[in-house]
Copies of this chain bind each other. A is one copy, B any other.
Amino acid sequence: MPRSSTGSQIETLIQLLARVPGLGPRSARRAALHLIKKKDALLGPLAEAMAEAHAAVKVCSTCGNVDTRDPCSICADERRDASTVIVVEDVADLWALERAGAANAMYHVLGGVLSPLDGIGPEELNIRSLVGRVEAGGVDELIVAVNATVEGQTTAHYIMDQVGDLGVKVTRLAHGVPVGGELDYLDDGTLSAALRSRTAF
């Protein structure tokens, strides 16, 4: 868009919006226009919410979750079972597990997976702090809930190696047919895994 046709503040807004995941250059323009039209109902509150989040957000020094307090609300929650720690790749995975309400346990966010090609070794991930938490005692079970990708499984094995001698039980998520999934559309690996891990009816 030629500079002459819009003010520089609008131009800056479009350029920054285009860097938000889910928005491209085209949808950023559409979003900017919508925000400008809803100036007081949306643009103003959103600007304020972003400024507040920017000021308030912290990374939990125990588990790596993002929250507005440190230790985060999960680590500080005494009703949770502190003897079980779920190890996830990313905060998004933690949020997904919390949404599912699947566990009443603690978490540990690795911040990624081992990927030598991308230059991500053990030092780039929060593995040392995980080993520290296990060594400090009180953890009975580590549930390694990394993605079922090659990198995820490599990371899981590396963690197993690191904590293997510390007397903690290490488990991982079950493979199988997704609930509501159709067999016809599943890949061979998942089908084989589901068959191997079949359960009594």
Q: Which residues of A contact B (CB under 8 A)?
A: 1-2, 4-10, 12-13, 16-17, 19-23, 27, 29-37, 39, 42-54, 56-57, 65-69, 73-74, 77, 91-92, 94-95, 98-99, 101
Assess whether A4 is in contact with B74, with CB atoms less than 8 Å apart: yes
Assess whether B77 is in contact with A4, with CB atoms less than 8 Å apart: yes
| A74 to B: closest C-beta gap in Å | 6
With a CB–CB cut-off of 8 A, which chain B residues contact A12?
Answer: 49, 52-53
Assess whether B67 is in contact with A7, with CB atoms less than 8 Å apart: yes
| A28 to B: closest C-beta gap in Å | 8
This chain: how many copies in the complex? 2
Q: Which residue of B lies closest to A21 (CB)?
A: B34
With a CB–CB cut-off of 8 A, which chain B residues contact A6?
Answer: 66-68, 73, 95
Shortest Cβ-Cβ A-B pairs, 5 listed: A7-B68, A47-B50, A22-B27, A47-B51, A5-B98
In Å, the complex CA distance between A50 and B47 comes to 5
Assess whether A46 is in contact with B98, with CB atoms less than 8 Å apart: no
